[in-house]
A and B are shown apart, each in its own frame.
Chain A
Amino acid sequence: MVPKLSIQNVSFDYGDGATALRNISLDIMPHELFVLFGPSRSGKSTLLRLLNRLSDLLPVGQMHGRILFDGQDIFARGTDVFDLRRRIGMVFATPTPLPGSIYENLTYGLKMAGIKDRRVLDERVARSLQQAALWEEVKDRLADSAFALSGGQKQRLCLARSLALEPEIVLLDNPTSGLDPISTSIVEESLYELKQQYTIVMVPHSMQQAARVADRAAFMLDGEIVEVGAQKDLFVYPQDKRTEDYVSGRFG
Chain B
Amino acid sequence: MATYEEIEQTREDTAVSPTPRRRNGRELIIEGLILASGVSVIIIITLIFLFLLKEGLPAFTSQPISTFWGRRWYPIEETYGLLPLLAGSLLVTVGAVVIAVPLGLTTAVYLGEFAPDWLREILKPLIEVLAGIPSIVLGFLGWVALAPLIQNMGAPTGLTAFTGSLILAYMALPTIISITEDALYAVPKEYRDGSLAIGATHWQTVWRVVLPAARSGIVIAIMLGVGRAIGETMAVMLVTGNAANIPELGLGMMFQPIRTMTATIAAEMGEVAQGSTHYSVLFAIGIVLFIITFLVNSLATRLIGGRPKQRGAQL
| Residues in A whose Cβ lies below 8 Å from that of B197 | 52, 54, 85, 89-92, 162
Do B199 and A83 touch across chains, with their CB atoms under 8 A apart?
A: yes
Q: Are A57 and B196 in contact (CB under 8 A)?
A: yes
Nearest B residue to A106 by beta-carbon distance? B198
B198 touches A89 (CB 8 A): yes
Contact A100 B194 (CB under 8 A): no
Decide if A147 is an interface residue (CB 8 Å cutoff): yes
Which of chain A's residues has its CB closest to B190's CB?
A: A96
Task: Judge whether A174 is part of the interface by a CB distance below 8 angstroms.
Answer: no
Q: Determine the chain A residues whose CB is within 8 A of the CB of B6 once the complex forms.
A: 147
Q: How far is the CA of A158 from the CA of B204 in the complex (A)?
A: 18
Find chain B residues with CB under 8 A from A99 CB. 1, 191, 209, 212-213, 215
A109 in the interface (beta carbon within 8 A) = yes
A94 within 8 A of B: yes
B193 adjacent to A96 (CB under 8 Å):
yes
Q: Which of the residues A94, A145, A148, A161 comes within 8 Å of B198, measured between beta carbons?
A: A161
Cβ A96 vs Cβ B188 within 8 A: yes
Distance in angstroms between the alpha carbons of A112 and B196 in the assembled complex: 10
B61 at the interface (CB under 8 A from A): no
Report how many residues on chain B are interfacial, defined by Cβ distance under 8 Å.
Answer: 23
Distance in angstroms between the alpha carbons of A112 and B209 in the assembled complex: 12
A98 pairs with B194, CB closer than 8 A = yes
Could you tell me if B200 and A108 are in contact, using CB atoms closer than 8 angstroms?
Answer: yes
* CB neighbours of B191 from chain A (8 A): 96, 98-99
Q: Which one of B2, B201, B215 lies within 8 Å of A82 (CB-CB)?
A: B201
Cα–Cα distance between A183 and B266 once the two chains are bound (Å): 66
Which partner residue on chain B sits nearest A99 by CB separation? B212
Given contacts A92-B190, A96-B191, A99-B1, contact A109 B200 (CB under 8 A): yes
Residues of chain B from 154 to 191 with CB closer than 8 A to chain A in the complex: 188, 190-191
A89, B195: Cα distance in complex, Å = 11
Any B CB within 8 A of the CB of A216: no
Q: Is A113 an interface residue (CB 8 A)?
A: yes
Contacts of B190 on A, CB cut-off 8 Å?
92, 94, 96
How far is it, in angstroms, between the C-alpha of A70 and the C-alpha of B127 when the chains are bound? 50
Q: With A96-B190, A96-B193, A99-B213 given, is the CB distance from A85 to B198 under 8 Å?
A: yes
| Residue of A92, A100, A108, A113 with most chain B CB atoms under a 10 A cut-off | A108
Number of A-B contacts (CB under 8 A): 71
B215: chain A residues within 8 A (beta carbon) = 99
* B contact residues around A96 at 8 Å (CB): 188, 190-191, 193-194
Interface flags for A77-105 (1: CB within 8 Å of B; 0: not) read: 00000111110011110101011100000
From A86, A94, A100, A158, contact of B199 by CB (8 A) = A86
Contacts of A89 in B (CB 8 A): 197-198
- Cβ-defined contact, B212 with A112, below 8 A: no
B3 contacts chain A at the CB level, 8 A cutoff: yes
Q: Across the interface, do A112 and B194 meet the contact criterion of CB distance under 8 Å?
A: no
Q: Is B208 an interface residue (CB 8 A)?
A: yes
For B191, B192, B199, B201, the residue with the greatest tally of chain A CB atoms inside 10 Å of its CB is B199
Alpha-carbon distance A36/B222, docked complex (angstroms): 47
* Residues in B whose Cβ lies below 8 Å from that of A162: 197-198
B204 neighbours in A (Cβ, 8 Å): 112
Which single member of B193, B201, B208, B213 contacts A54 (CB below 8 Å)? B193
A100 near B212 with CB under 8 A, answer: yes
Q: A89 CA to B198 CA in the complex, in Å?
A: 6
Interface status of A132 (Cβ within 8 A of chain B)? no
Residue on B with the closest CB to A110?
Answer: B198
Find residues 255-270 in chain B having any chain A CB closer than 8 Å to their own CB.
none
Least CB distance from A111 to B in Å reads 8
Is A129 part of the binding interface, using a Cβ–Cβ cutoff of 8 Å? no
Q: Which residues of B contact A200 (CB under 8 A)?
A: none
Chain A residues contacting B196 (CB-CB under 8 Å) are 54, 57, 85
Q: Verify A85–B199 contact, CB threshold 8 A.
A: yes
Q: Which residues of A contact B (CB under 8 A)?
A: 52, 54, 57, 82-86, 89-92, 94, 96, 98-100, 108-109, 112-113, 145, 147-148, 158, 161-162, 165
Q: Could you list 21 A-B pairs, sorted by A, with CB under 8 Å?
A: A57-B192, A82-B199, A82-B201, A85-B196, A86-B198, A92-B190, A96-B188, A96-B190, A96-B191, A96-B194, A98-B195, A98-B209, A98-B213, A99-B209, A99-B215, A108-B198, A109-B199, A112-B208, A147-B6, A161-B194, A161-B198
Enumerate chain B interface residues (CB-CB to A < 8 A): 1-3, 6, 188, 190-201, 204, 208-209, 212-213, 215
| In the A-B complex, the 10 residue pairs with the closest CB atoms | A147-B2, A109-B198, A86-B199, A96-B190, A90-B197, A99-B212, A96-B194, A85-B199, A112-B200, A82-B199
Additional pairs, 19, CB under 8 Å, beyond known A84-B199, A99-B213 = A52-B197, A57-B196, A82-B200, A82-B201, A86-B198, A90-B197, A96-B188, A96-B190, A96-B194, A98-B209, A100-B212, A108-B200, A113-B199, A145-B2, A147-B2, A147-B3, A147-B6, A161-B198, A162-B197
